[in-house]
Amino acid sequence: MSANDWGGDGMAGLTDILVSAMHPGQRMLLSTSDGFALAFAGCGAYEAEVWAVRQALALPDRSAHEAAAAPRDPATAPLCMGGASFVLSSSQP
């Protein structure tokens, strides 16, 4: 995905992408695997930060590629891009 796909907003456009993928009443979070909230929708900043840290503490101690292949909560998807590990999460609508 290029910056043009985000409307020139770069990282700030991530929230718009999450909003477009949500259902009413749902919350979504994109965070780093070590617990930093990058983008969130449907919740406040504090809730997103707590959610990201809790997920990081719950992740198994293994590589991102091993974690991506492991069974997981269906509302959480590990992502690996360029050697970095991220987690995309959503609440149930």
The string of pLDDT tens digits covering residues 12-26 is: 788 988 999 899 999
Tell me the pTM: 0.74
CA 31 from chain centre, in angstroms, equals: 4
The string of pLDDT tens digits covering residues 26-59 is: 999 999 988 999 999 999 999 999 999 988 888 7
Strands of the sheet containing 84-90, edge to edge, are 37-41, 28-32, 84-90, 76-81
Q: Report, as an integer, the average pLDDT of 63-69.
A: 52
Pairing of strands 28-32, 76-81: unpaired
Handedness of CA 8, 12, 17, 20 (dihedral sign): negative
Say what the pLDDT of residue 7 is.
Answer: 56
- Residue ranges of domains in the chain: 28-57+74-92
Which residue in 83, 81, 75, 15 sits closest to 51, CA to CA?
75
